[in-house]
Structure 1
Amino acid sequence: MIVNGKKKNYEGFSVSEMIKDLDLDADKIVVELNLEILPKDEYDKTILKEDDKIEIVAFVGGG
């Protein structure tokens, strides 16, 4: 699978497990799975597959 343009192996992981493994804060990111934004309430029950394409976007504060 591809995560933010890099080949990774999270097959069989839930999206929540992948986020924890990447040490990300689920409240500060958006996950796009196969070109569709995944609702946060789907993170626990969405199991990743080998051919998935994932983009993770983090919110950055500034001023």
Structure 2
Amino acid sequence: MTGCLESIDRLDELGDASVPFWFDMHAMVFSNNTPALEAKLHEHFAVGRLKKVNSRKEF
């Protein structure tokens, strides 16, 4: 989720998040309730989560 005017700016921010690779954008989704959509996506994909030590971190 981003509030950036340019989505590519958010990709640059994520690239600085101590991850071993850069991010690519494959799709953009606009929503009237972005926080709820993001929470629902996290809930849906939680079963396949690889990083289980700290669930508050995305990566």
Instruction: Normalising by structure 1, report the TM-score.
Output: 0.27
Greater C-alpha Rg: 2
Instruction: Normalising by structure 2, report the TM-score.
Output: 0.28
